[in-house]
Structure 1
């Protein structure tokens, strides 16, 4: 039977290259979220280690790393499911940016590997994620108490076709854990997350890392914070601002998704994929303005 509500723990913290300190923060916030009634605790991308490309590549963890085992124990201790929203995951010869899904029994039930890698130039700085990790192969849904939750990571938010595919597959909630660059976050973060919620009539839950509160501290790159929960109607239900260590539990009413999709059946109204893939017809206009009749 599908649950009608889901209590989600939204987290945010200032992540650094100190994995032990980052892990301690994650464990504190899991405990606080569970104490506030969370059933699912969401942790940000790169929350366990945020540094330069070289530092993150060298610090990549295996799924059986001590740090992951500690998160699994925390899930059992507090009786909550946990999604580690993105870690550099060393798998054989490859490294992926993986969201790990841990159930309340502490089992690592699976992962989503980030499909869209952040190869971009922002403010004169190059972010070449493909020098650290490989792209994932496809979308992933998790199901908790009958509720379908779509997994994405950070830069994926700029590719609406992924969120739409997850929604069409039944996702009522979209996770967007992030370490969003501060400059692009200030310009685009709220708009992108509200757009993904509105166009899919789904909740969006986006835990985040945030820049240092100390202006003298030099982050490898400053991240925006503002971990958000957005309703299916595009309302911001929670915004953690620039708090360097924060958690909030938000109860998601899944009936709101049902009502929104019944009133605006955009998912049912999609045309066949082949129609969107067809080459568009081009209508060419004359470049000369027509004379106005007098």
Structure 2
């Protein structure tokens, strides 16, 4: 476990269908966070283009897209690692929801394809992500200044097994860049992020997109409230519903070590026991002997 403090830029903005304007927000956030001392800047899911699934698929990015090139240049210019936290990404044979990890020299050092696709119906709106993109099948860890960081995206947060696996593999910081719907965010966002932090004794950093404030202006309204959470569960930063914002948060791995020493749950996991068929009992039957 690293003894180096990691400074992470938490970001948020109102993303629209205007990819050029969104890219300006993204580059601005990288520069402002870097000026504040960030080693790593986390950008939200769909921060470069927020529309319907069909619109986002049609506008899917490639490594040659000018928006990606601008972010690579910003990372190199500021000597800062950037995680572009999720976008429709076009490969030769498929479209995925992909988070790119851009090194401090502007090179692509890693990519994570979102494992859990948002197939849900919220407030009468159907989000059938699997109809426009293909799910990934492999988690991602990246080392930043000696700190091990796990990369996930948005809806992944509802699947704790993924985060437990990342933590057991060494992740001290868990990233959850998101475009959470306003309805589900109001009900679940903070409690899910705090739970992932507490149960894994890890920092959680969740940059986010936010609604524009005018009903019907967005393809769907997103919640905002980009959060950073400590291993013991306390919220370190909350960007609320500002249309654009960023904050640099200092993460000390010693707090991870302390949480995991106090509650050593990662060493007490018993997957073999969980995989067994559950025993069944009935409160309507008479007492049975124990063996």
Tell me the TM-score normalised to structure 2 length.
Answer: 0.96
Q: Does the 8 Å CA contact 2:3/2:252 hold for their aligned counterparts?
A: no
Unaligned 5+ residue runs, structure 1?
Answer: 289-294
Looking at structure 1, the residues matched to 67 and 217 of structure 2 have their Cα atoms a distance apart, in angstroms, of 25
Q: Identify the residue that residue 154 of structure 2 maps to in structure 1.
A: 154
Looking at structure 1, the residues matched to 12 and 145 of structure 2 have their Cα atoms a distance apart, in angstroms, of 25
Aligned Cα root-mean-square deviation (Å): 1.3
Q: Identify the residue that residue 99 of structure 1 maps to in structure 2.
A: 99
Could you tell me how far 1:25 is from its partner in structure 2? Answer: 0.5
CA deviation string 1:126-168 (max 9, x = no partner): 1101112100011110111221101110000000000000000
Q: Does the 8 Å CA contact 1:3/1:145 hold for their aligned counterparts?
A: no
Q: Does the 8 Å CA contact 2:16/2:50 hold for their aligned counterparts?
A: yes
Unaligned 5+ residue runs, structure 2?
Answer: 287-291
Q: Does the 8 Å CA contact 1:102/1:109 hold for their aligned counterparts?
A: yes
Which residues of 2 match residues 163-178 of structure 1 at below 5 A? 163-178=163-178
Looking at structure 2, the residues matched to 56 and 79 of structure 1 have their Cα atoms a distance apart, in angstroms, of 30
Could you tell me how far 1:63 is from its partner in structure 2? Answer: 2.2
Q: Secondary structure at the match of 1:22?
A: helix
CA deviation string 1:211-243 (max 9, x = no partner): 003x25610000000000000000000000000
Looking at structure 2, the residues matched to 36 and 14 of structure 1 have their Cα atoms a distance apart, in angstroms, of 22
Q: Identify the residue that residue 22 of structure 2 maps to in structure 1.
A: 22
The answer to whether the aligner puts 1:71 opposite 2:53 as a matched pair is: no
Runs of 4+ in 1 over 4 A off after TM superposition: none
Q: Identify the residue that residue 275 of structure 1 maps to in structure 2.
A: 273
Looking at structure 2, the residues matched to 263 and 284 of structure 1 have their Cα atoms a distance apart, in angstroms, of 37
Q: Identify the residue that residue 291 of structure 1 maps to in structure 2.
A: none
Q: Identify the residue that residue 289 of structure 2 maps to in structure 1.
A: none
Q: Identify the residue that residue 80 of structure 1 maps to in structure 2.
A: 80
Looking at structure 1, the residues matched to 48 and 65 of structure 2 have their Cα atoms a distance apart, in angstroms, of 12
Q: Identify the residue that residue 55 of structure 1 maps to in structure 2.
A: 55
Looking at structure 2, the residues matched to 67 and 125 of structure 1 have their Cα atoms a distance apart, in angstroms, of 29
Q: Does the 8 Å CA contact 1:176/1:205 hold for their aligned counterparts?
A: yes
Could you tell me how far 1:287 is from its partner in structure 2? Answer: 7.6
CA deviation string 1:182-204 (max 9, x = no partner): 00000000000000000001000
Q: Identify the residue that residue 192 of structure 2 maps to in structure 1.
A: 192
Which residues of 2 match residues 164-243 of structure 1 at below 5 A? 164-213=164-213, 215=214, 218-243=217-242
Q: Identify the residue that residue 252 of structure 1 maps to in structure 2.
A: 251
Looking at structure 1, the residues matched to 282 and 92 of structure 2 have their Cα atoms a distance apart, in angstroms, of 53
Looking at structure 2, the residues matched to 268 and 274 of structure 1 have their Cα atoms a distance apart, in angstroms, of 14
Looking at structure 2, the residues matched to 145 and 20 of structure 1 have their Cα atoms a distance apart, in angstroms, of 31
Q: Secondary structure at the match of 2:219?
A: coil
Looking at structure 1, the residues matched to 10 and 121 of structure 2 have their Cα atoms a distance apart, in angstroms, of 29
Q: Does the 8 Å CA contact 1:97/1:133 hold for their aligned counterparts?
A: yes
Q: Secondary structure at the match of 2:32?
A: helix
Shifted more, 279-288 versus 121-130: the winner is: 279-288
Q: Does the 8 Å CA contact 2:2/2:253 hold for their aligned counterparts?
A: no
CA deviation string 1:34-54 (max 9, x = no partner): 000000000000000000111
Q: Secondary structure at the match of 1:267?
A: helix
Q: Does the 8 Å CA contact 1:208/1:226 hold for their aligned counterparts?
A: yes
Tell me the TM-score normalised to structure 1 length.
Answer: 0.95
Q: Secondary structure at the match of 1:187?
A: helix
